[in-house]
Amino acid sequence: CKTFTSIDQSKVEASIERIYDRFEQLVALDPSLPKLHRTDHARYLQVSLERLSSSYECLDSSRPWMVYWILNAASVLNLRFADELLNRVVDFLIKCRSPIGGFGGGPGQDPHLATTYAAVNALCIIGTDRALDTIDRTSLKQFLGAVRESNGAYRMHIGGELDVRGAYCAISSAKLASFAPEDELKLFEGTAAWIAECQTYEGGFGGAPDLEAHGGYSFCAAAALMILGGEERCDLHALLRWTVNRQMAYEGGFQGRTNKLVDGCYSFWQGALVPIVQSLIARKEHRQDIMNVSLFNRLALQEYVLICCQKPTGGLIDKPGKPADLYHTCYTLSGPSVRTDTHPCSSSATPIYPFRRRCHSVATVG
């Protein structure tokens, strides 16, 4: 019996098949394919940082996110913007800083953990003294305390929803801001236990207890537990099994949930989750051998990204037929760039390193 899901899946597979068939003809003429179109993506990011199109008006409350998506994607491409432009970015993020701590989605907006995470990460990517001094650690600590629940869970904003994203955004922001150890202990007492309650029967994590397992939430949960040292509280092997089974056998990319379609952004949310879980298992079970095993098909993932997700005009996409946007450009690029010690071409330079340092037998930069 066909369902809406199975019909959509068949359509996606058919579109992927056409693209791969065409690619086989092209690679016969040019064996250097597939290529990362770095110049096109760099231009797309440069233009977007200076001036967004009107289609982004609906994301007015997510403006620090757009800054972060651009800067993080640029870092993956080993692209550094001019100092004058980065200073303007800092000027803008200063305007997003809330007097009660944290950062809002735009100037004058209420602080929110998601946009605080985005702003703090963006400022750390810029890395200048002025950028780092923009993070007001005292008021940030007060804001985190204001959205913390007594059980260690975090609301996304004052009076907002409880969500595992909130816990991760708070933990990451505090760690990047170099909070004192005693402040971290106080802020995140009980947080690891609450996160563990979000693990589902499938093995992945939902946004809150008793919700469906999802790639984005699972990444946030595992990354938070990695920082907190709370891996004893969850079933890591169940999480690993669920995660690796989200790679699509035909497309090569990842889906975010069971019985959902492939999406380029999950090349990061799921692809980066695998080495995190491997590291957690290695730490919990004293098993470094697990770090020497590749647990998903990295070549298939890279082929999906490079062959199916690049727009000729720059930017990356969810899947064929979708438009490029900053969110998918950031995370679709980031997935194949995650360094792991299991890859024969892994670099010791940085945890996430530019595509141009990868094996040229797999992909070259155009």
Q: Per-residue pLDDT tens for 218-248?
A: 999 999 999 999 999 999 999 999 999 999 9
Secondary structure of residue 21 in the 3-state scheme: helix
Determine contact, residues 108/150, Cβ cutoff 8 Å: no
Report d(CA 352, CA 354) in Å as an integer. Answer: 7
Residue 18 has pLDDT above 60, yes or no: yes
Residue 363 has pLDDT above 60, yes or no: no
Report d(CA 75, CA 81) in Å as an integer. Answer: 10
Residue 169 has pLDDT above 70, yes or no: yes
Report d(CA 311, CA 48) in Å as an integer. Answer: 15
Cα–Cα distances in angstroms (integers) from residue 115 to residues 263, 269, 333, 349, in the given order: 23, 18, 21, 29
Mention every residue, 6+ apart, whose C-beta is less than 8 A from residue 220. Answer: 164, 165, 167, 168, 169, 205
Helix axes 83-96, 113-126, angle to 10 degrees: 160
Average confidence score pLDDT of the chain: 93
Determine contact, residues 203/241, Cβ cutoff 8 Å: yes
Report the DSSP beta bridge partners of residue 247.
254
Secondary structure of residue 345 in the 3-state scheme: coil
pLDDT class of 339 with cuts at 50, 70, 90: low
CA 51, distance to chain mean position in Å, is 23
Residue 73 has pLDDT above 90, yes or no: yes
Residue 85 has pLDDT above 70, yes or no: yes
Q: Which residues are catalytic?
A: 214, 257, 260, 263, 265-266, 318, 325, 328
- The pLDDT tens digits of the residues spanning 245-302 come to 999 999 999 999 999 999 999 999 999 999 999 999 999 999 999 999 999 999 999 9
pLDDT at 347: 34
pLDDT class of 338 with cuts at 50, 70, 90: confident
Q: Which of 148-157, 234-243, 273-282, 343-352 has the lowest mean pLDDT?
A: 343-352
Residue 362 has pLDDT above 70, yes or no: no
- List, as one string, the DSSP characters of 40-104: HHHHHHHHHHH---GGGGGGGGGHHHHHHHHHHHHHHTT----HHHHHHHHHHHHHHB-TTSSBB
Share of the chain above pLDDT 70, in %: 92
CA angle 24, 28, 31 (to 5 degrees): 105
Residue 343 has pLDDT above 90, yes or no: no
